[in-house]
Amino acid sequence: MNRIVRVLLMAGLALGSLTAQAQSIRLRAANKHFDNLSYVSAIRAYEEFLRADKQKDPAETREALTKLGYSYRKLQDTRNAERVYADLIRAYTDLDSEVYLYYAQSLAANGKYRESQKMYSQYGEKQSQDLRGRRFTVSYMDMSRFYQDSSSYRLHNLPINSRQADFSPMYYKNGLVFVSARDESGAVKRVFSWNQTPFLDMYFHPDTTQLRAPSPEPNRPANAAVLGSGDTRPTTSDLAGSGNQPLTKAELFSRTLNTKYHEGPMTFTKDQNMIVFTRNNTSKGKAGKSSDGIKKLKLYSSINKGGKWVDIQELPFNSNEYSVGHPAFSPDNTRMYFVSDMPGGYGGTDIYVVEYQNGQWGTPVNMGKEINTEGNEMFPFADENGNLYFSSDGHEGLGGLDVFYAELKDGVAFKGVQNAGAPINSEKDDFGFITDRYRTSGYFSSNRKKGVSDDDIYSFRRICKQLNIFVYDAKTGSPIENADVRILRNGSNQDLRVTSVEGRAELCVDVNTDYEFKAVKEGFAMNSVRFSTLTQSARPVMSVSIYLERAENMLVRGVVKTEVNQRPAPGVKVTLRNEKDKSEQTVTTGPDGGYEFDTKPGAPYTITAQKDRYATKKTQYSKPKRNAKVITDSLGLYGVGDIFQLKNIYYDLDKFFIRADAARELDHVVALLKEYPQMKIELRSHTDARATDTYNVRLSENRARAALDYLISRGIQPDRLVARGYGESEIINGCVDGVNCTEIEHQLNRRTEFKIVAVQ
């Protein structure tokens, strides 16, 4: 495998120090290559040393075998790693525990799960604190759970793959950006000493329609391994495609972003005007090194202006002493996941999350022990629902890196971590997974074809396991058209479907999932039915029915949105309380932010919306009219870190007093703070770029203080307010020093905002 994380994120050696006393010349030469991380050269030297003299010092033989096995491991040559570790364990008994772990991992990567199970068991005895020993020992007792949904997938090896490594695809416009070690420039390219392959660059293919595998025939299941069989790989026809598709050439993504060192993987904001990408530690074209002499990885951002990537900036949480890489934005761009081996983690590399608000980066936070293990977690990706996919060799899998996913609620993997299963996963390394909201199609990379430095990108399609949901009138048995069917997945609201004239809504169901379907229709009492795929069904199409009774109940429905951008807010706990009989109903919003309740008419009620780091929204409704059938409303949430511009607060040039139009706008802030008595805000004032920086900072501080004083005069407690002046540091329209702008354009920069800093 020739990819950047294996090269640098895991560059720190896990071997203990091996004392060399009077080492032979051959062994010293091999060790020099090893210490320089030149593993191809080290392997040749160690193999030559071991062949040369059968009467050598046993301590030297042990050292050479240990480092030889580790070198093969670093190059993902699992067959030779297995051979060397087997020789070590046969010859010596007092080995470091890591040897048993690496031997177990090599055996699993070669599909020898029973032998691997024994080695994991011995490793667990030597390292009881490392849960991998116990977890993998138990997991390999029954392999069937890795194949439960295998017949639903069909894989296709992409025509853009080269003879070098190609991996880690990411959606961009109508195509894919990916990482490759190919060299199509025609010029001489530097070779990376680790594995004697070219450095990595980002490439682009503009049209994914040319890359798609043929859709699976509706009555023909995709080729996949039979449960319990030893071969987990898809058939050749599935991997290679039909053979009549022409090879499609990719192009360099950006000559500005690509350098002579490593670049990639990468991520893009939703509008695709900003990229965050991985690159070697460089400054002004020169490589930087850590105190241990290794070029670490860093994350950089760039903005697209006029079709060109400009303004390359290093992210503030980079370090010369550890690596950060593999970025992945959340679907709303408020958070970014990434990988690092920074101190304080759980294992080799961990996944972290950092907030990104209004162009500012927060402080990275480790995703915790539900996601991260003693092994390596890397290559994160967040789908449109906000669920997290990543690769790991620490969670139980088929060998090497496997793809896993976790449903996140408030940033926590509340259902734990699940293996994506075969054939997405194999006994080799599977990583760089991207997909749509329902995992019906997507792309990933793997070295399953030949192993070693042979990463390829694959597309996948998943055959729909269709479930028909029928809604009927309980009295007449006739189908109900235009009934809403709310889908709840593992207890949380998901999509909303509408029944057809036949009273039918359709859904492609996932395995190992508990569903609930709620049918909602005006004039009927809400009803629901549960359905589970925890057990397998051979039927290609399944169905459930919901019967609705006519009733005089009232429907209360709405959408929860974030006030800062008016987007639907998922993961919000919405509670309806009937103030007459004190009964309560609760739902958790899904991606559309929607909620529905069925309640008795003629009673007052209260709706409460709650989410961590958001102000609790409570709305009371007086007794509705008895003939009210449906009440629709939307709830807005204010969150910590949200910044709102006070649209009508402008200042006359060089002045800081509150104008009449500004006073009216600040009265809205007064009302907000009185509605949320625990909310605290920061008043942020800005100037235009005229005058000196020092003068503008002082002027903006005076303006922010004037707004603060106004709020205090209207009864807001001073300890809830902070005033700060930013001067001309955050110009919003390009009217910086030296640029001619109109008075109206300059006035847009003389503005005041408020930022929420605390809620309850």
Residue 516 has pLDDT above 70, yes or no: yes
- Residue 485 near residue 517 (C-beta atoms within 8 A): yes
Distance CA 523, CA 629 (A): 7
Assign 594 to helix, strand or coil. strand
Q: Which candidate, 559, 632, 634, 555, places its Cα nearest to that of 592?
A: 559
424-481 pLDDT, tens per residue? 999 999 999 999 988 989 999 999 986 545 799 999 999 888 899 999 999 999 999 9
172-204 pLDDT, tens per residue? 999 999 999 887 554 444 544 544 567 889 999
Q: Which pair of structure tokens corresponds to residue 114?
A: 């029973």
Ranges for all domains in the chain classified under CATH 2.120.10.30: 150-225+234-462
Task: Note the pLDDT of residue 133.
Answer: 93
Is 3.30.360.10 the CATH classification of the domain at 150-225+234-462? Answer: no
Task: Note the pLDDT of residue 187.
Answer: 46
Looking at beta carbons, which pairs linking 735-740 to residues 24 or more positions away fall under 8 Å?
735/688, 735/689, 736/689, 737/689, 739/689
Task: Note the pLDDT of residue 188.
Answer: 42
- Residue 142 near residue 158 (C-beta atoms within 8 A): no
Distance CA 629, CA 550 (A): 12
Q: Which pair of structure tokens corresponds to residue 671?
A: 């009302």
Distance CA 466, CA 446 (A): 29
Distance CA 181, CA 196 (A): 11
pTM: 0.75
In order of 597, 646, 650, 694, the CA distances from 654 in angstroms are: 54, 19, 11, 13
CATH topology (fold) of 4-147: 1.25.40
Ranges for all domains in the chain classified under CATH 2.60.40.10: 552-639
Mean of pLDDT over the chain: 85
Tell me the CATH class for 465-548.
mainly beta
The pairing of strands 191-192 and 441-446 is unpaired
Q: Which candidate, 671, 665, 673, 668, places its Cα nearest to that of 647?
A: 665
Task: Note the pLDDT of residue 593.
Answer: 92
Task: Note the pLDDT of residue 14.
Answer: 42
DSSP state of 718: G
Q: Which residue is it, tokens 């416009």? A: 173
> Rounded to 10 degrees, what is the CA torsion of 228, 232, 235, 241?
140
Residue 233 has pLDDT above 80, yes or no: no
Ranges for all domains in the chain classified under CATH 3.30.1330.60: 643-758
Give the percent of the chain with pLDDT over 70.
84
Residue 226 has pLDDT above 80, yes or no: no
Query: How many residues can be counted in the chain?
Result: 760
CATH topology (fold) of 643-758: 60s Ribosomal Protein L30; Chain: A; (3.30.1330)
Range of weakest confidence among 342-351, 359-368, 413-422, 649-658: 649-658
695-742 pLDDT, tens per residue? 889 888 988 888 899 899 999 999 999 999 999 888 877 788 888 888
Under CATH, domain 552-639 is a member of which superfamily?
A: Immunoglobulins (2.60.40.10)
623-648 pLDDT, tens per residue? 776 666 788 888 999 999 898 987 75
Residue 286 has pLDDT above 90, yes or no: no
Q: Identify the helix (H) or strand (E) that includes residue 412.
A: strand 412-413
Distance CA 587, CA 573 (A): 6
Distance CA 230, CA 227 (A): 9
Residue 558 has pLDDT above 60, yes or no: yes
Task: Note the pLDDT of residue 287.
Answer: 52
Ranges for all domains in the chain classified under CATH 2.60.40.1120: 465-548
